[in-house]
Amino acid sequence: MLISLARPAVKAAGLHLSSRLCFRLCSSAMASSVARLSPGDPSSYSRPDQAVVTRMHLDLAANFSEQVLTGSVTLGVKRVDETNLLQLDCSKLNIYTVKDDKTGKQLHWDVGAAGPCGSKFTITLPDIQPEEDKEEDINITVSYSTSPSSSALQWLSPAQAGGDQPYLFSQNQAIHCRAMIPCQDTPSVKVPYTATITVPSPLTALMSALRKGDPEQLPGDLTQFKFSQPVPIQSYLIALAVGQLDSVRVGPRSLVWGGKKQLELAKIDFSETEEMLTTAIALCGPYVWGDYDILVLPPSFPFGGMENPCLTFATPTLLSGDKSNANVIAHEIAHSWTGNLVTNYNFEHFWLNEGFTVFTERKIIGRMMGEQMRHFHAILGWRDLEECVNSQFSPSHPFTALVPDLSGVDPDDAFSTIPYEKGSTFLWYLEDLVGGSEKFEPFLRAYYEHFIYQSITTDQFKSFFLSYFSSNPAISSIDWDTWLYAPGMPPYKPNFDATLAVKSRELADKWISGNMPEDKNEFEEFSAEQKLEFLGILLESDKLGHEKLEKMDKLYGLSSSPNTEILFGFIRIGIKGRWEKSVELGLDLATRQGRMKFCRPLFKDLWSWEEQKERVKKCFLDHRAEMMAVCREMVGKDLGIKE
């Protein structure tokens, strides 16, 4: 998944709280001594150490009038010990029946009280008969339906979807799959799945899996689609979308799906998909997923991209017609190895997904566009990290540790750029330490090969790294506790090549000093990254006066930029300068799309403008029903407005 938060910089302070104990004490206080839900995952009730799900088949129908999925899931279950209980996760699911497929008998089940991480769903397994093979899987079918308020699903009317048909899409990371499917909703469990999805005609269903055969027309003006994902995946990668969809081919194994208007731009913006894939393969090893398709979702999708295998979900805010936001696709492609093949054991180790992915994304960019551009992307990321540490949280906040304690915490509440940028910086540091890319890139490939299809902890990564580089004396200097468990900025800042940033700084200095340019040529010659750096420097400077903002907008056309990143950056500068025009621009951008990277900072920035609070509150209340649950809840928490 790709996120990034907003900017300004406060000078990095690498806090050397070098013991795990200090961090754990802070976390324990914050978590109010809430016990971990399971021994391996603080965010899951499941107990795969007792009985584990080994495969899954979904048979679901999309009911748009009721806004629910109805049907069943068949789970292959293997007993790990002598238990007679299967423990699953669920959230707001209506469970109807649970049966043993072999005998057809109904099984006893119970759903516990709801908490921050949903509910425990316990099924009593059939007794083992003397003549049975204890190693044989048990097949259990659960008939159920989702809730109209499922946190995993976004149901859109035709008007909201921008067409004449309704739309449905899921977003299951971090722990929302349990609101779509009763399952062991922990990344420590990875299973293959198949699915049969029935939808109203003329809608198309897509999943994070390979399409099997042609759609089948059914009585009642329904269409049935079949899918297979043979590679074992964690539950949050199960994804579904249903809508009036067209497609265009952008590579030998890649289609882009979306509305017709979206596809016109997507064909340009995602035209380098195959080059990115082949570059990633050279870095990481074979691509095991077959297809690599992209689905451009409606604007309410809350993230930049989601690495659902075979079908990356992408926000329409990436579409600008000039490929300037295509790095998001490089990020999601990198996830094909970092996260999807080698996975964090639970969300305390989320940096093993996102830190590795950002690091690899920038390696892809470096090979395609040059090392200076890789460094430039890292410079922009460092500014995001500084704002996250110093403004979103604080330098002593436990969630700014690379490996936080999430006991009693919904992972969405801890979600930030920390695992992305702090994790990537840690890998950059390790690469520099062991002798550069010629030493480190072979290690990364060996790491993916060694842990392929597994879910691992940070300690497993550490052990493999130390073993691989055991003959390198430099590794004895690594302060693992500080890197992994201390809050705040990293204790090391790479020596970034800032060559491409020089012109951005020079132009920004002109505006700050009042020596404003009279023509737009210099700015128009900038790359998108240079424009973002220019805006980032202005945002972290003293606020600009209204006259400067008016002239800048007139000269560069920033308030009408087709690049959402640039528009967002300019609006934030205007809000900081208390420029009245920025209020309307900010509320418009915060509500016509639902990407949290933009929504949350815009609402928070405007909320800090005392005279605008009532207007901001009304805008949020008027539009929150259009937001996906995770975005609605996080913005509500930011503003202190409860559901």
Q: Which two tokens stand for residue 121?
A: 């769903």
Phi and psi (nearest 5°) for 272? -95, 15
Query: Contact at 8 Å (CB) between 606 and 616?
Result: yes
Phi and psi (nearest 5°) for 19? -125, 145
Q: How far apart are CA 369 and CA 4, in angstroms?
A: 21
Give the SS3 label for residue 50: coil
Burial of 443 (0-12, 13-18, 19+ CB in 10 A): middle
Longest dimension (CA), the chain: 88
Q: How far apart are CA 328 and CA 528, in angstroms?
A: 14
DSSP 171-231: --TTTTGGGTS-B--STT-EEEEEEEEEEETT-EEEESSEE-S--EEETTTEEEEEEEEEE
Task: Specify the residue for token string 């995952």.
Answer: 41
Give the SS3 label for residue 126: coil
Q: Which of 560, 562, 561, 567 is nearest to 590 (CA)?
A: 567
277-308 in b/e form (b: 16+ CB < 10 A) is bebbeebbbebebeebbbbbbbbbbbbbbbbb
Q: How far apart are CA 85 and CA 100, in angstroms?
A: 13
Q: How far apart are CA 505 and CA 507, in angstroms?
A: 6
Give the SS3 label for residue 518: coil
Q: Which of 196, 181, 97 is nearest to 146 (CA)?
A: 181
Cis omega (within 30 of 0) for bond into 174: yes
Give the SS3 label for residue 407: coil
Catalytic residues: 332, 420
552-577 in b/e form (b: 16+ CB < 10 A) is bbeebebbebebbbbbbbbbbbbbbb
Strands 343-344 and 455-456: parallel
Angle, CA 534 vertex, CA 531 and CA 538 arms, to 5°: 140
Residue at 297: amino acid letter? L
Angle, CA 633 vertex, CA 419 and CA 170 arms, to 5°: 75
Q: How far apart are CA 543 and CA 546, in angstroms?
A: 9
Query: Contact at 8 Å (CB) between 137 and 76?
Result: yes
